[in-house]
Amino acid sequence: MTSRPNKDQQTSPSVDTAGEPKAAKGNLRKVFVRTYGCQMNVYDSERMTDVLAPEGFEATEDLNDADLVILNTCHIREKAAEKVYSELGRIRKVKEERAKSGKDMMVGVAGCVAQAEGEEISRRAPIVDLVVGPQSYHQLPGLLEKARQGKKVVETEFDIDAKFNHLSGQAEKPVLKRAPSAFLTVQEGCDKFCTFCVVPYTRGAEVSRSVQQIVEEAERMASAGVREVTLLGQNVNAYHGEAADGATWGLGRLLRRLAEIDGLDRLRYTTSHPRDMDDDLIAAHAELKSLMPYLHLPVQSGSDKILKAMNRRHTREDYFRLLDRIRAAAPDIALSGDFIVGFPGETEQDFEDTMDLIRRVEYGSAFSFKYSQRPGTPGATMDDQVPEDVKSARLAELQALISDQQKAFNASRRGMICDVLLEKTGRNPGQLVGKSPWLQPVQLDAQENLIGSIQAVEIVDIGSNSLFGRLIAGQDTFDTAGAAAAPASQAG
Known binding site for [4Fe-4S] cluster: residues? 38, 74, 112, 190, 194, 197
For the chain, what is the radius of gyration of the CA atoms?
23
Q: Which residues contact 3 (CB under 8 A, 6 or more apart)?
A: 37, 38, 39, 40, 76, 234, 270, 271
Q: Which of 381, 307, 387, 287 minimizes the C-alpha distance to 342?
A: 387
Phi, psi angle pair for 198, to nearest 5°: -95, -5
Amino acid at 39: Q
The SS3 assignment for 69 reads strand
Pairing state of beta strands 153-155 and 130-132?
parallel
| Annotated binding-site residue numbers | 38, 74, 112, 190, 194, 197
Phi, psi angle pair for 370, to nearest 5°: -75, 140
Direct distance between the N- and C-terminal alpha carbons of the chain, in angstroms, rounded to an integer: 29
Angle at 335 between CA 330 and CA 336, to 5 degrees: 155
Q: Which residues contact 462 (CB under 8 A, 6 or more apart)?
A: 407, 410, 411, 413, 414, 468
